[in-house]
Chain A
Amino acid sequence: MSWDSFVWFALAASLFWISGAIVSVISKRRLPAAVLTGCGSAIFMTFIVGVWISLGRPPLRTMGETRLWFSLFLSLIGLVVYLRWRYRWVLPFGCLMAVMFASINIFKPEIHTEELAPALRSPWFVPHVIVYMFSYAVMGIATILAIRILWLTRRSAAGSAPATGSTTPATVDATASPLSPSLQGDLRLCDTLVRMGWGFITMGIVMGALWAKQAWGDYWTWDPKETWAAATWLSYLLYMHLRQGSALSSVTSAGSEAIARQNSPAIEVASHSNKALHRTLFLLIFSFLLLQMCWWGVNYLPSAQGFSLHTY
């Protein structure tokens, strides 16, 4: 299978993905949308496997090749979130992003059929890149969630109707939180995805370090790509610690509330929490920008030109 046939596979997969997205919005049953999206992902996966076999190497070398995996994982994560947590709107978002990245590959493939460079012929190559692409997709969905929460809380604060939209029932004690129950569910999912994505980023970094030691004799050399990878990793780590801290704060607030409920102006507490939450969510968006810098931005960065082994 060659890259010439990519357009047909991409079109077929996109049709399924878009159909799945539409069905997920108009139908209350989850199975039809899941099957349609799954078919799209299967078609896309077939192409990836076919190219892998025909090239004789994993298609993970160029930007265009990594975008293939990104599209696939976006659709799959959207599907998992839809099925596991019943977030109906995540599926269309994930699928539309997958279609967008597949379209970029049609118009700007950035591919070639060269063999792998000797340094890339390592057992670490495939897991290293795949966990990274998976983390990018997970963090992409988490960022969309963060933007949604920010948008809805700001709209809510501006005096419009209380924000709703998620179908997830709220279970968290909201005594010290300014969020509506549905947005608390969104926030909880956001935290879960970030924790999962951070785990994948950590795995990617560690695998890269073990691979670098095997190939070049150093675990870490502060190559520009590594510097940005460390910045991304720390930025998400900061988000997780801030969220954990806010949970502890809310615990403290909730605990003291039983004693001093009447003395605590709830609106003030909520407003303070809201600001802190907004800052944390902006940090999440900033972290995603860092992630983009790490993925492809570093290729265009003047400071990386001539200093990075990873620019391609």
Chain B
Amino acid sequence: MVVAGHTFGLLAALLYVCLLVVIYVLRDRWPLFRHLAGRKACLTSISIVLFLLLVFGLVPQDGGRDGFFGVLGFRNMSRSPIFILALLLLATSVTLNTIEDIHRFSKHRLGVTCAHLGLSVILIAGLFGSGGTVRTVMIAMPNVPDHQARNEVTYEYVKLPFELTLRDFSVYEYSSEVTLTLPDGRSSEIKIAVNHPAKVGSWWIYQSDYLSDTERGEFASIFKCVCSPLSEVFRIALWLLLVSAAAMVFFAGFKPSFGKKGPLSVKLQDGAAPLGCETFNEKEERL
């Protein structure tokens, strides 16, 4: 099920990116495509997502379906069709700008290109990649081997590709000593703590919580087992965004403001921009 969801999401994402490349190529022939790739679409998509976030920030996200906001799906933002559509519009705008950045690559815009690319990948992976992610919860009793965990969304039991046996739990360190057994019989002693998850294949095991039996003086550990095939894609995109943000901070104090120096100042002095240099955002402004 994980593989099927992941493959479907990956194919959908690839198709979506291909579609955007076609839109970018045909943007001069179709006014709709030009507008979709333009500055106004960018501002509109940011404004819509911002507005929705303000509403979601003020409405309790309890998943309820009653009342005005519940009927509209505003009480469960991660499943709200309006929000997903708004994010899709934002992803479209960012990705089209990313394609343009790459097509008309300039080292002066390297930071912006990286930021656009990172954000684009995050949005696309978030929109199309969630189908392949499985989040489960396992309650591990002391010295009882277990290889099943309950899906957080469907509450069905999922058979994990490994077996965990809780040996010890430390309340002070909030960590568990665990025996990990793989299907081929190999086993190893590992320690799982908050901020120090264990990785088994594409699965991550997190120390989530614990249960205490005060009479026996024993503890049960609650582990969160997550399989997220696109986890590394997110990580790379986030690091890309982090580096571009750091570059932005570093150069903010040295780089002149919009329109002061660089290509734009040439336009200021000469009056008109050479067509080969203008972006389609600028072209839209000109048109």
Contacts and interface: CB of A to CB of B under 8 A. Distances in A.
Nearest to B195: A122
Contacts of B57: 224, 227-228, 231, 293, 298, 301, 303
B60 A303 contact: yes
A139 to B, nearest CB: 13
A159 interface: no
B173 to A, nearest CB: 8
A230 B231 CA distance: 20
Given A215-B206, A251-B264, A203 B195 contact: no
A84 B247 CA distance: 19
Interface of A is mostly: helix
Interface stretch (A25-33, A50-58, A233-241, A267-275): A233-241
Interface stretch (B15-23, B28-36, B47-55, B100-108): B47-55
A303 B272 CA distance: 52
B264 A302 contact: no
Contacts of A118: 173-174, 193-195
Nearest to B111: A199
Interface string A210-225: 1101111111101010
Contact of B258 (A247, A257, A303): A247
Given A172-B260, A207-B242, A199 B248 contact: yes
B249 interface: yes
Contact of B285 (A187, A234, A238, A248): A248
A237 B46 contact: yes
A252 interface: yes
Interface residues of B, number: 66
Nearest to A250: B259
A278 interface: no
A234 B86 CA distance: 13
A119 interface: yes
Interface string A175-200: 00000000000011001110110111
A171 B257 CA distance: 11
A202 B267 contact: no
A2 interface: no
Contacts of A121: 194-195
Interface residues of A, number: 67
A217 B204 contact: yes
B47 A238 contact: yes
A255 B273 contact: yes
A196 B235 contact: no
Contacts of A200: 245, 249
A196 B252 contact: yes
10 contacts: A118-B195, A192-B255, A202-B245, A203-B245, A215-B194, A224-B61, A227-B61, A234-B53, A251-B273, A255-B273
Given A195-B248, A198-B245, 13 more contacts: A121-B194, A188-B257, A196-B248, A213-B234, A216-B208, A220-B126, A222-B61, A234-B49, A238-B43, A241-B43, A251-B268, A252-B285, A256-B271
- The 9 A-B residue pairs whose C-beta atoms are closest, nearest first, are A247-B258, A202-B245, A247-B259, A199-B249, A199-B248, A118-B174, A196-B252, A231-B53, A258-B271
Interface of A: 84, 118-119, 121-122, 171-173, 187-188, 191-193, 195-196, 198-200, 202-203, 206-207, 209-211, 213-220, 222, 224, 227-228, 230-231, 234-235, 237-238, 241-252, 254-259, 293, 298, 301-303, 307
